[in-house]
Amino acid sequence: MVPPLVLDIDGTLTDADGHLDPRAFEALPSWDAPVILATGKAFPYPVSLCHYLGLPQTVIAENGGVVLADGEVTFTGDREAAQAAADEFVARGGDLGWDAADTANRWRETEIIARLDADEALLREVAAEFDLEVIDTGFAYHIKTPGVEKGVGLERVCETMDYDPEEFVAVGDSVNDASTFGVAGRSFAVANADDVAKEAADTVLGESYMDGTLSVLESLRENE
Would you call 164 a catalytic residue per the annotation? no
Three-class DSSP labels, the chain: CCCCEEECCCCCCECCCCCECCCHHHHCCCCCCCEEEECCCCCHHHHHHHHHHCCCCCEEEHHHCEEEECCEEEECCCHHHHHHHHHHHHHCCCCCCCCCCCCCCCCCCCCEEECCCCCHHHHHHHHHHCCCEEEECCCCEEEECCCCCHHHHHHHHHHHHCCCHHHCEEEECCHHHHHHHHHCCEEEECCCCCHHHHHHCCEECCCCHHHHHHHHHHHHHHHC
Catalytic (active-site) positions: 8
